[in-house]
Amino acid sequence: MNSTMPSFPERIELSGEGLVLRDWTEADLAAMPELFDHPDIAYWTPLVSPFDEAAARARLDRDRQLRAQGTAVLLAITVDGGAPLGEVMLRRAPEGTELGYAVGPAHRGQGLGVRAVRVMAAYAFEQLGAGQVILELEAENAASVAVATKAGFGLLDVPLITGEEKGRPYALQTWGLNRP
C-alpha cells in the first residue's frame, strides 16, 4: 500500500435499497462461474472468459490483494447476505473513485445493479469522502447505460477512453455522480 492511499477495512458489509453488499468468501467460489461465465459479461467487462473455478479463485485472490493495497474493493451483491447475485466494485484511480458492476444473467431485471451502485456510491461519499463517483461505460452497452441513468449519473463532458481488450476495440464514456 502506498502512503497516499489508505487501506480499506478488513471486512465490509453495506446494507440499503433491499440489498446486502458483502465480502466475497471461499464459500462463493462455486457460485462465481454461474454469475460471470456468460457472453455478455465476457464482452462488456475485463473478466476472463471462460470464467471457471480457477478464474474464480484468481479473482478472489486478486480482490484481497487490491483491498490490502487500498486500490479496490469488490463486494458480492446479495439480498440477504447469502447467495451472491452479482458484484459491485469500487476502485480508487487517478481519474477518480470508479464503480463497476456485473449481475449474473439469472438475476437481471430486478434493479440489482442500480441499487448496488447507489449503495456503493453512498459508501464512497460518506466513508471515503469522495466528491464524485464515476462509471466508465461503452455507449452501446444499453443495460449499463440504463443502470447509470437510473442511479442518477450523468454523462460527463470528458474525452472518451479508448483501447483494446480481448482483441476488440472499445471507447468508454465517463458518467459521474456528485456528492449530494
Q: What is the pLDDT of residue 95?
A: 80
Q: What is the pLDDT of residue 4?
A: 52
Pairwise CA distance, residues 70 & 12, whole Å: 13
Pairwise CA distance, residues 178 & 134, whole Å: 9
CB atoms within 10 A of CB 6: 10
Torsion of CA 57, 172, 125, 131, to 10 degrees: 140
Mean pLDDT by 10 residues, the chain (180 residues): 66 97 97 95 92 96 94 97 97 92 95 98 96 96 96 97 93 96
Pairwise CA distance, residues 99 & 56, whole Å: 20
Q: What is the pLDDT of residue 86?
A: 97
pTM: predicted TM-score of the whole model, two decimal places = 0.93
